Amino acid sequence: MKAGIVFGGSGPILVLTTYESLEDAKFAAKLASKGIGKFIAYEVDLELVKKKYGQHFDAVMKDVKQSDDLRVLDYNGHNVFLNFSFSKDAKTPIVHE
């Protein structure tokens, strides 16, 4: 499982995915099917995400309405910005056009 902050046209979201990488073409295709065809993504440490989101993380993982290949953990961009430091928590950005 990977966690990533994805910046699309409407702002950042925090996602969980079973794809091997946020650079995977199937990951990009999945985002495109959700209306996010162009994005910048930063992988963040899964354990850090679990720590910051606690029970909400567990609830999202148990949600049968979402698929394992892409689960949205947080769609509130303001909240995502408050929870992570790009200089400390985020890895190298991935750009997809």
The pLDDT of residue 42 is: 96
pTM of this structure: 0.91
Structural domain including 79 reads 2-96
pLDDT tens string 8-51? 988 999 999 999 999 999 999 999 999 999 999 999 999 999 99
pLDDT tens string 41-92? 999 999 999 999 999 999 998 876 666 689 999 999 999 999 999 889 988 9
Roughly how many angstroms between the first and final C-alpha of the chain, as a whole number?
24
Question: Rounded distance, CA 30 to CA 45, Å?
Answer: 21
Q: pLDDT exceeding 70 applies to what percent of the chain?
A: 95
Number of separate domains in the chain:
1
